[in-house]
Structure 1
Amino acid sequence: MNHFHFVCHILFLFISVQAVAQLEPQARAKMEELNTLIEAAEQRGIDTRKERMSVRVAEVFLDYANWDEAHVDENTAYFDLVPIYRDSAELMAAMLPDFERQEVILLLEESIDFLQKLMDGEYCRDPVPVINWSLVKHEGDQLTYDDRPVFLEDYTWKPFVPKLTQYCGQLGDFFITPGYVIDGNGTINPNILNELDTKPSGTIGFIFINNQNVPDWALTKYGDEFVFRPDNNFTDYDIDHPGAKEMMGFLIDGTVGKMAGKQYTKLGYMLCNEPHWFTKQGVWATGGVSDYTIEKFRVWLKEKHQTIETLNALWQTDFNDFSEVTIDIPISGSLQGTPKWYDWCFFNMVRVTDWYTWMKSKIQENDPDAKTMLKIMPRLWEENLRDHGIDLEALTEMSEIIGQDGLARTNNMWGPVRWWEAEYAFDWREVTMANDFMKSVSPEKIMFNSEAHYLSSSRSRNLYEKPAYARAVYWLAHTFGVNATQTWFWPRLEDGSIRNHSGNGYAGSNCQQPRIVNELHSTIMDLNAHSEVITAMQRQRKPLRIFYSKTSAINKPQHMEEDVFDIYKEMIFEGVPLGFVTKNIIEKQDNETWDAILIYKTQYVRLDELNALQTYLDHGGTVIMDNVSLAMNEYGQAHTSVLTQSNGTLIVANTPAEIKEEAFNIVESKGLLPEFIIEETNGHGTKACQWKSVLNDENKAFLSIINFGNTNASLDIQYKKDRDGLIYRNLLNGTVIPKDKPIVLAPFELLFMEVTDSSALVKNTAVANVLYPNPTSDIFQIRFEQEQAKVEMQVFDMAGRLIFKNTYHEVSEISESLKGQPSGNYIIHLKMGEKSGSFMLMKSSG
């Protein structure tokens, strides 16, 4: 949206809200209406946790709106910090209070409508479990409460007060920082020790280890050079300086033992916030390195190359000894693809991994049962960058919890047009491809996004975001492996005022979006109501594995965003789970957990990577690859050996489409294709609906579909084992989905359904005494115990089509006909006042 259209949009909204008188009284009246409906529903045994959450969200945001109305100047200053709002900041701040009130009214109306349909019997849904966060356990790859998997959601910075924690998360935490060490002897601030001694075990949470705030004593003891690149990353000190281990060792030794076993540590010790050590010229957060780092690099080079002659031949240098080796850091991007570039980028990852491995071991010296994780930005793997020091595979392997700082985007506030904007409604690559990689590396671990930028980020923000997006992206993240999220962010204090240092992240974000917050927590409730199915989707076997080589990723400028993503995008919309393999995965995991390895445009591989692939083939594996991959080693030298079929199967296919065809032939031959066939038509001609299907222990099929595209998608869904008496049922509202016509999904829209026997629709709540004859060839009667003032009847076939409906007054018996309808099963739905029920009626051919 250009600036002119944007200003017109907000002017229209502003004028509209001014035309609506007394918005707060309207909202309060809607709240009272919903509360009255909640009480009536609960008397009938209907679970209303969702609606009570909506009332709470409404209460909170009406208070926020009043604060915003009294602080327009302060909000103007915050809107001025955001590029897309800067030119209209004052107007945005002025219209914000009534925008929030209007959104509250809308969410209350939506809640009233849904609950009324529940009471009328038009809708049904599974109850929402109430989770006691103090009793949640971390068990393998899931969080567990009351013997069921659960999914947890909270916000960064949210006040821990009852009006917010009851429905919007109760994540426990504790913050430790080097500044807590007050002298060179390792003394911990007594106030912190007292806080730790008195802090209750609390609710499940994590420990935020801050790597900033280097104390003055450390500068005196280690020298000014100890503080290194403090403005470029979230680690203020030089990790290669000898003082780093002493200072952080003091902090860990002095605090971790006091937290051992506490519930608020069970989501792990977060070793660092968004670690990154960019070292390429001209990129974000880049910088140099210390002499300590260069000395470590020299040692690594000697171990790697053995002789200085070997190094000189590769680097085209003339050093006399490894002690003389020098390198300009930041390094020039023009060197990418050269041995010098490769050696530096690889070493940068090694040194960072070594540092966090030490931190983990130090923590576990003090608490052997402690779990660790890192808040890694997955884009450092999913995008082309490789000069940042983060080896996602090694750090994911090292940690007991898969930590991340994942994001998605629905707009692009600045910078060039992004890859997704032409065909898709949002940037989904990180949530899917990076999550698939991390779960391939460590399938046995939970995944915790401790700073989820799904709703907003520095580049993406939209005050008028559709609630359907919040549902789509959180549902997607969880079906792709996420178990817990801490959403960025909740910058308001309890009274609605804005927390200091909220910066350019506040204006236009979720703390001004009541319907977004409501939809997010409604989605988490739905995920928990169906947690066994969602967990089954997370655990799906991944029969097709894309080969990922760190070697090619380092050497090639477009390897990830073009080559790897091209093959991934070709197959993600087909309902077959995808994964990745690496040398380590091949060597450490059971190779029977996949059926084929796919290799595309991966020209550079180390000899040990090539050998791992050959061993896989020797043991009977299947590889599908193009004719350019695996040609060179890490230094661009041609390999002297090539893959041979050996005891396995080696198939050559050169385009993503050809590779997909060969791969799917293998999956089909093993009987592993999904239970559904889905044909998609949309405005672009390329598929955009991502779907997953699973069978539960009773062999019932479940299907989840999300439309990633920016146009409507028409879907023809066929269950391969369909038969008479089976229906498609929407699990979020209980309605029957017609089988005989396409389903249309709007952008962001989610469909979550099961295939079930039609008897699942029968909910006889004693509304009628007798339905006869059953079966019938034509006429049927319904007899009631006593005369009914009003009866509403609907008759559906098993495809969910309404055959006919009628309303009757002052009746004790109803007689109707199925004349002209084919033989088969029909659902008779009755509503009488507050009572409703459904019956199955069979029509015979006689």
Structure 2
Amino acid sequence: MLKRISHAVLMGLLPFGMVACGDSVLNSQQTDAANTQNQPHIQMAADVNPLINEAEQKISVLTTKMELAKQQGIDVKREETVVWFAKEFLKYADWDEKNETAVEKAFSYYAPYKDKSKQLAKELPDFERRKVIEILDAGIDELSAVMNGEIKRRAVNPVDWQNIEVADNMLKSNGRPIFLYDYFSKTVGQPLTNKAIYNDHLGAIFHGGENLYPVDHDRAINSFLLKEDGTYDQALLKEVTDIDNSNVGFLIYWNMGIPEWIEKREPEVRKGRSLFTGYDIDNPLVRETWGKIAKDTGQLTRGKKVTQLGYILANEPHWFSESNHWSHQFKEMNDISSYTLNNFRAWLTEKYNGDIQALNNNWQSNFASFANVDIVIPIDKNTQGTPIWYDWNRYHMDRSISWFTHLQSELKKGNPEADTHIKIMPNMFTENSRSHGIDVEALTELTSMIGNDAKAAEKRFLHIKKEQEWEKHYAYLWEELSVSYDFMESVSPNKIHVNSESHFLSASWWRDLDTSVEYVENVYWLATLQGMDANMAWFWARDPDGSFEDRLEGDLNFFDPALAGSFAGSVNQQPHIANEFTQVMYDLNSFSEEIIALREQRRPIRLFYSETSAINKKFHMSQQFKLYEKLFFDGFPMGFATQKIIQKQDNNQWDNIVVYKTEFVTSAELSALQNYLDQGGTIIVDAPQSLSKNEYGKPHKKQLKATKGTLIQLDGNQSLAEIRQLALENANQGLPDIRLTENNGTEHKGIRWQVVKQDDNSYLVSILNLGKHTAKVSLGLKDSVKDTFKDRLSLSDDEQVKLLITDLFTENTQQNHFSVESKGVHLLRVVVQ
């Protein structure tokens, strides 16, 4: 909801700054210590009935206010959602209370909660009821403020789910930009037409009074569709082809299994499998089978609304191939097939121009020919930084690119208009490992949409005991989300961006029953400002009566170890979070034009990214994040430059490229940087070591030369702050006209802000406080801009330019000095007077 009245904590019967834990009450300092125990804290009530009565009374108060508000012409869609969730979760709480044993079992499946599963199951119903009361209190307060004229808010911009337009770089509804939302999994076993599950509150805003359909993403295309004789299993095929054509949605290729008839014909087909891809992607019969399925299902579903958000070519693909990796317990890349080995030999032949001696010199080996080259997979992780490590991991990426290129190519034979994306795990980019076979740049470039399942976390991952660096400065872990989104948007700036399994509300190793609504609001604003057009949250698993969905009933033993424990501590037990997810999407869609304007802001500074260094170095991405973080809070979206970005995109879209701790680059990467300089570009290189070696660690014979451009070669003794300052100075013309200064009591910034100039010469300013502290913020004009406005307004030297600032959430004016609480969100209009 629009929490613009105050950011006071509503804790029911508890005073401010205190939180319940079992039977004890802890103060805020004790709470920090308790959280390190990695257990949720649920308040226990002595008597259930007073909570139910209180909630029902507040539902009555809110619904009465809603009727009065309607008479004043006030939009009350937000309050309709509050009431719906309140009633639903009161029902869920009753079910949880009557089925305590089942709830206890659900908690026990999640390892961090197992030891307290009995206590948590007993406390859950009253916890849910108290959170219902909280959302009702907040709803009453906000609607009262609107009715009293204290604030003005925009009406919700509803989604016309039957008439979504897939436009250039955005989705539209009724001609306006729209951000779609739903849950990735929706109570398996329930029909899509069940309005108790598929409705405006849980993922489809009702519009038009009939024919309500949400995002449809339940049908999976898998290899069991095709029989050995080349015909299709018609019952399975009908599940894909008979989807109601009213539904906007997507289809997914599900790659877990492989039919027995293929395994009989190809005994090696399981070699080189991975967690979510149950077969060898180099196997000719697999490629033939999947090619036919892709082409035929593409043709059969061509033009259907269920494909408007594209075909997902894979669920979380990765093939970790290094020794002693966690994935090996799931038989991931425990070995490779003869097909993979022979393809690797062919790749090496081309890479070394048929010169086996060159390979032997590089690998320190003694192979008689490329036909005799052999390699042990999983590869020894201690070989990282050596030629054999680089060659294998570069080939490993190229082979997955070949696989997805093949799938997409065959799909487009059946459906030339098909949009595609891949549910890429963004940590394939942001984390240091590169043995997984995923080239995020190449796959983002390949597909017509950007795809991922990015996560964020308000608390430390539950299996980590030691305090993390981010916890010292930030309100939540945003690194994976922001770094990956800025990279993917830099690679493909004009593509629709679909997060088909958003893990902002919970993930395998993080969740918290007391997740704050402020976090949900902040993280969804951040993700949307950074490019996200559609997201399906993980996950909704309540049937209408409050019981678990079919697949979570009884004893659970899934191959995917995360699924069994997913219900515990999820949004399904948090009315405040379920409600806030919908409310923040209402807000985002109310301001969709402003968000699009902010997203189109130029990226003036580009951090150079080299996959070559990422493969060769143990901690390359950790090092890159240090500089990215340093520039993240300077009023513009960060950007990346790669060899391909430099070669394929307009170089005038940025003012400089910064190279930081990037020792290994190919000759082609070095040439791209040189060509950028030759065209007059500016490059800042942090130290002589950067760009000094090729992919095999050999010194480059050539070095960058300034020519027509500006080359700032540093000696390696500069601090991050000094490099940042140089980058800003060399991008001055591209920096925002409005300047923001922040004081949060520390030397570490937390305000992520953006500025775009509007056609009427006003400025749109977005402010998100990612920091853990309240920040005092001041807005002003850049000196050169200030002088321009003084001339335009005919002001004397003694007269000062003034800023008229309007809070767009409330339409109230405010001073240019104000405070932003941790996880606070502001959207302002600034007019120069």
Tell whether 2:452 aligns with 1:404: yes
1:624–1:652 contact (8 Å) kept in structure 2: yes
1:186–1:250 contact (8 Å) kept in structure 2: no
Q: 2:69 aligns with which of 36, 41, 60?
A: 41
> What's the counterpart of residue 505 of structure 1?
566
2:314 alignment partner AA:
C
> What's the counterpart of residue 119 of structure 2?
91
Q: CA deviation at 1:310?
A: 0.3
Structure-1 separation of matches of 2:297 and 2:232: 8
Structure-1 separation of matches of 2:575 and 2:227: 47
1:3–1:84 contact (8 Å) kept in structure 2: no
Tell whether 2:418 aligns with 1:370: yes
User: Cα distance 1:274–1:74, how it changes in 2: closer, same or farther (>3 A)?
Assistant: same
**Residue 543 of structure 2 aligns to a residue in which SS?**
coil
Tell whether 2:756 aligns with 1:694: yes
Tell whether 2:617 aligns with 1:521: no
Count matched residues.
750
Structure-2 separation of matches of 1:61 and 1:645: 65
Q: 1:745 aligns with which of 802, 808, 820?
A: 820
1:123-138 to 2 correspondences below 5 Å: 123-138=151-166
> What's the counterpart of residue 280 of structure 1?
322
> What's the counterpart of residue 755 of structure 1?
830
Q: 1:173 aligns with which of 209, 212, 217?
A: 217
1:46-195 to 2 correspondences below 5 Å: 46-159=74-187, 160=192, 161-164=194-197, 165-169=199-203, 170-195=214-239
Over 6 Å off, 4+ runs: 1-4, 7-12, 722-725
**Residue 704 of structure 2 aligns to a residue in which SS?**
coil
Tell whether 2:234 aligns with 1:201: no
Structure-2 separation of matches of 1:89 and 1:331: 41
> What's the counterpart of residue 639 of structure 2?
579
Structure-1 separation of matches of 2:239 and 2:349: 48
Q: 2:679 aligns with which of 604, 619, 632?
A: 619
Tell whether 2:287 aligns with 1:251: no
Higher gyration radius (CA) = 1
Q: CA deviation at 1:7?
A: 11
Q: CA deviation at 1:493?
A: 2.0
Structure-2 separation of matches of 1:624 and 1:725: 36
> What's the counterpart of residue 318 of structure 1?
366
User: Cα distance 1:106–1:77, how it changes in 2: closer, same or farther (>3 A)?
Assistant: same
User: Cα distance 1:109–1:757, how it changes in 2: closer, same or farther (>3 A)?
Assistant: farther
Structure-1 separation of matches of 2:94 and 2:771: 37
Q: CA deviation at 1:363?
A: 0.4
> What's the counterpart of residue 722 of structure 2?
658
1:522-537 to 2 correspondences below 5 Å: 522-537=583-598
1:758-837 to 2 correspondences below 5 Å: none
Q: CA deviation at 1:114?
A: 0.5
User: Cα distance 1:586–1:725, how it changes in 2: closer, same or farther (>3 A)?
Assistant: closer
1:544-563 to 2 correspondences below 5 Å: 544-562=605-623
Structure-2 separation of matches of 1:387 and 1:6: 34
2:773 alignment partner AA:
T
Q: 2:356 aligns with which of 308, 313, 324?
A: 308
> What's the counterpart of residue 460 of structure 1?
510
**Residue 450 of structure 1 aligns to a residue in which SS?**
strand
2:290 alignment partner AA:
M
Q: CA deviation at 1:179?
A: 4.6
1:166 alignment partner AA:
D
Q: CA deviation at 1:748?
A: 1.4
Q: CA deviation at 1:592?
A: 1.0
> What's the counterpart of residue 635 of structure 1?
696
Structure-1 separation of matches of 2:147 and 2:828: 21
> What's the counterpart of residue 339 of structure 1?
387
> What's the counterpart of residue 414 of structure 1?
463
> What's the counterpart of residue 480 of structure 1?
530
Q: 2:811 aligns with which of 711, 731, 734?
A: 734
Q: Which moved more, 1:685-694 or 1:6-15?
A: 6-15
Q: CA deviation at 1:25?
A: 2.2
1:574 alignment partner AA:
D
Larger % of strand: which?
1
Tell whether 2:664 aligns with 1:604: yes
2:219–2:239 contact (8 Å) kept in structure 1: no
Q: CA deviation at 1:397?
A: 0.3
**Residue 18 of structure 1 aligns to a residue in which SS?**
coil
> What's the counterpart of residue 5 of structure 2?
none
**Residue 508 of structure 1 aligns to a residue in which SS?**
coil
Unaligned runs of 5+ in 2: 1-29, 204-213, 553-562, 790-799
Q: CA deviation at 1:639?
A: 0.4
1:227 alignment partner AA:
R
Q: CA deviation at 1:485?
A: 0.3
Alpha-carbon displacement from aligned partner over 1:772-793 (angstroms, at most 9, x marks no partner): xxxxxxxxxxxxxxxxxxxxxx
2:511 alignment partner AA:
R
1:128–1:526 contact (8 Å) kept in structure 2: yes
> What's the counterpart of residue 716 of structure 1?
778
1:180–1:251 contact (8 Å) kept in structure 2: no
Alpha-carbon displacement from aligned partner over 1:571-629 (angstroms, at most 9, x marks no partner): 10111322001111111111111111110111100001001111111111111112221
User: Cα distance 1:21–1:683, how it changes in 2: closer, same or farther (>3 A)?
Assistant: farther
Q: CA deviation at 1:228?
A: 3.6
Structure-1 separation of matches of 2:77 and 2:239: 35
User: Cα distance 1:513–1:215, how it changes in 2: closer, same or farther (>3 A)?
Assistant: same
Structure-2 separation of matches of 1:298 and 1:703: 55
Q: CA deviation at 1:8?
A: 11
1:625–1:659 contact (8 Å) kept in structure 2: no
Q: CA deviation at 1:195?
A: 4.2
Unaligned runs of 5+ in 1: 759-846
> What's the counterpart of residue 487 of structure 2?
437
2:40–2:513 contact (8 Å) kept in structure 1: no
User: Cα distance 1:519–1:252, how it changes in 2: closer, same or farther (>3 A)?
Assistant: same
> What's the counterpart of residue 682 of structure 1?
744
Alpha-carbon displacement from aligned partner over 1:514-568 (angstroms, at most 9, x marks no partner): 1111111111111111101111122211111111000000001011012x11110
TM-score, scaled to structure 2: 0.87
2:686–2:713 contact (8 Å) kept in structure 1: yes
Q: Which moved more, 1:396-405 or 1:189-198?
A: 189-198
1:187–1:254 contact (8 Å) kept in structure 2: no
2:724 alignment partner AA:
K
1:7–1:88 contact (8 Å) kept in structure 2: no
Q: CA deviation at 1:757?
A: 8.6
Q: CA deviation at 1:3?
A: 11
> What's the counterpart of residue 275 of structure 2?
233
1:738 alignment partner AA:
Q
**Residue 395 of structure 2 aligns to a residue in which SS?**
helix
Structure-1 separation of matches of 2:39 and 2:393: 47
Q: 1:391 aligns with which of 432, 436, 439?
A: 439
**Residue 640 of structure 2 aligns to a residue in which SS?**
strand
TM-score, scaled to structure 1: 0.86
Q: CA deviation at 1:679?
A: 1.8
Q: CA deviation at 1:378?
A: 0.6
2:363–2:388 contact (8 Å) kept in structure 1: yes
User: Cα distance 1:179–1:303, how it changes in 2: closer, same or farther (>3 A)?
Assistant: closer
**Residue 420 of structure 1 aligns to a residue in which SS?**
helix
1:138–1:144 contact (8 Å) kept in structure 2: yes
Structure-1 separation of matches of 2:423 and 2:429: 13
Structure-1 separation of matches of 2:36 and 2:757: 49
Q: CA deviation at 1:320?
A: 0.5
Q: CA deviation at 1:173?
A: 2.5
1:297 alignment partner AA:
F
> What's the counterpart of residue 270 of structure 1?
312
